[in-house]
Amino acid sequence: MRMYDIITKKRNGEELTREEIQFFINGYTDGSIPDYQAAALLMAVYFKGMSKRETAELTMAMVNSGETVDLSKIAGVKVDKHSTGGVGDKISLIVIPLAASLGIPVAKMSGRGLGHTGGTIDKLESIPGFRTELTREEFIGNVNKYKMAIAGQSGNLVPADKKLYALRDVTATVDSIPLIASSIMSKKIASGAECIVLDVKAGSGAFMKSVEEAAELAGTMVEIGKSLNRKTVAVVTDMSQPLGHEVGNSNEIIEAIDVLKGKGSEDERQVALTIASYMAVLGGAFEEFEKAHSALEEVIRSGKAIDNLKLLIQIQGGDPDVVDNTEKLPKAKYHIEVRSKKSGYVDSIDAESIGISAMLLGAGRKTKEDKIDFSAGISMKKKVGDKVAVGDILCVLHTNLGNTAEAEKIALEAYGIGSTEKKIVKYIYEVIQ
Ligand code: URA
């Protein structure tokens, strides 16, 4: 078999066989297929797409490129949740303690942030002492005993995705539905999940800019799940502006705490309750979504949800006191107010730009090697639909850096101010089961 022929076939819009897909994934993972040939194939896939069968086979070839996690020692139906990535997305921080408080075993593997999107692992590490590197035994033991654990992805889980993602990142081939779907689903399957709830983001801060594209990605992932015997539900949610009011790391922890205490932003509350309700249904705790939803509302009202977050922090080595004394979390030295130069109504906020601005302030990484400043970030004082006058604070930038001119400019330009009030706002567009 020759890589040249596989590239030609896909370039001409033909379907690849399982053997051809495996040849590509195995050869790229072991280094016998060079970057330039892999990049050519990725670009051909970008333009010509893949059938459902090809996408499922690509997913399985990626799963088999490395280790897989055996969660069979955990009692009950294991549920995982994954987001396609966004700005201000702290939903995992909320749903893990929520779903676990209904007795659902949540075995969560999460990633780090890159570029304009944040990562749950980085956010949690802003809590003093919190450990995200757990041994297999500790991870399994915690899920069995406390119904929850969260860890960074282990070194050799889906190595094909690590190499391919880095290549896609520099060859403009990230936003391809079969490539995103196989990347996400391979990691979920390799990490042992039986049931998967996907939060597929749509809008300016997401890979999929329109709801239609996001729904197509959602449908593709649900199909992959079905073909591999994993119960999968995908919820298409809004990322046309940052989620909630905080973008960063320690400030996002504070906002997640607020939601678990029954406060917080309505968009986050709705998205988190929806995702956690589907986790409860797939995990078998409830037959009906509405019943799961009511039970979760009660879990928040009763204080059980926030107690469970304290427990999660404690069992992973962190200081649970941060929940009631958030000043123990890292704080930045400088707080720069970005003020409106126009009056009217906020009619858009480019979420990707806000993510880039936060990254420039130190909250994210330009390259994988960059170190994060957990205290850096942005507080969104105005969101879509809000009225503004000239001089009003749109957002506040938190940083320890001296020069923030570029971050300020990007944050200001992210805001679109119009003359009529925009009545939104849909937080949840579609559910695909
Ligand atoms: N998240 C992933 O893990 N992979 C992608 O391709 C896109 C988002």
pLDDT of residue 155: 67
Mutate to test the pocket of ligand 1, among 80, 174, 201 (most ligand atoms within 8 A of CB): 174
Active site residue 375: no
pLDDT of residue 72: 85
- CA–CA separation, 176 vs 160, rounded Å? 17
Instruction: Ligand 1, residue 174: give the atom nearest the CA.
Output: 6
- CA–CA separation, 227 vs 52, rounded Å? 9
Q: How far is the centre of ligand 1, averaged over its atoms, from the C-alpha of 264 (Å)?
A: 28
**What residue type is assigned to position 183 of the chain?**
S
Protein residues with CB under 6 Å of any ligand 1 atom: 84-85, 165, 174, 179-180, 183-184, 207
Find, among 72, 59, 23, 75, the residue nearest to 179 by Cα.
Answer: 59
Task: Give the predicted TM-score (pTM) of the model.
Answer: 0.93
Among residues 10, 78, 81, 82, the one annotated as catalytic is 82
Active site residue 187: yes
- CA–CA separation, 275 vs 290, rounded Å? 12
Give the residue extent of every domain in the chain: 3-49, 79-323, 330-418
Q: Has domain 330-418 been given CATH number 3.90.1170.30?
A: yes
Atom 3 in ligand 1: which residue has the minimum CA distance?
184
Q: What are 417's strand-pairing partners? A: 346
Mutate to test the pocket of ligand 1, among 185, 207, 217 (most ligand atoms within 8 A of CB): 207
Domain 3-49: give its CATH code: 1.20.970.10
Instruction: Ligand 1, residue 111: give the atom nearest the CA.
Output: 3
Q: What is the pLDDT of residues 146-170, one digit of tens each?
A: 999 999 877 688 999 989 988 998 8
Please give the structure tokens belonging to residue 158: 């889906």
pLDDT string in tens for the chain (433-residue length): 999 999 999 999 999 999 999 999 999 999 999 999 999 999 999 999 999 999 999 999 999 999 888 888 888 888 999 999 899 999 999 999 999 999 999 999 888 777 778 889 999 999 999 999 998 889 999 999 999 999 987 768 899 998 998 899 889 898 899 999 999 999 999 988 889 999 999 999 999 999 999 999 999 999 999 998 999 999 999 999 999 999 999 999 999 999 999 998 999 999 999 999 999 999 999 999 999 999 999 999 999 999 999 999 999 999 999 999 999 999 999 999 999 999 999 999 999 999 999 999 999 887 777 889 999 999 999 999 999 999 999 999 999 999 999 999 999 999 999 998 877 678 999 999 9
Among residues 108, 116, 168, 383, the one annotated as catalytic is 168
Q: How far is the centre of ligand 1, averaged over its atoms, from the C-alpha of 191 (Å)?
A: 15
Topology given in CATH for the domain delimited by 79-323: Pyrimidine Nucleoside Phosphorylase; Chain A, domain 2 (3.40.1030)
Atom 7 in ligand 1: which residue has the minimum CA distance?
180
Among residues 161, 199, 238, 267, the one annotated as catalytic is 161
Mutate to test the pocket of ligand 1, among 184, 200, 201, 220 (most ligand atoms within 8 A of CB): 184
- Check if the beta carbon of residue 119 is closer than 8 Å to that of residue 90: no
Active site residue 293: no
Q: What are 415's strand-pairing partners? A: 349
Active site residue 161: yes
- CA–CA separation, 68 vs 91, rounded Å? 25
pLDDT of residue 213: 96
Among residues 116, 123, 162, 187, the one annotated as catalytic is 187
Instruction: Ligand 1, residue 179: give the atom nearest the CA.
Output: 6
pLDDT of residue 366: 79
pLDDT of residue 197: 96
Please give the structure tokens belonging to residue 191: 């990490």
324: left (phi over 0), alpha (psi -120 to 50) or beta: alpha
User: How many CB atoms are located within 10 Å of the residue 294 CB?
Assistant: 14
- CA–CA separation, 332 vs 353, rounded Å? 21
Measured at the alpha carbon of residue 362, what is the angle toward residues 356 and 367, in degrees to the nearest 5? 70
Active site residue 348: no
pLDDT of residue 178: 96
CA distances, 9 to each of 13, 14, 39, 52, 176 (Å): 7, 5, 15, 17, 18
Q: How far is the centre of ligand 1, averaged over its atoms, from the C-alpha of 133 (Å)?
A: 21
Instruction: Ligand 1, residue 183: give the atom nearest the CA.
Output: 4
SS3 158: coil
- CA–CA separation, 415 vs 433, rounded Å? 35
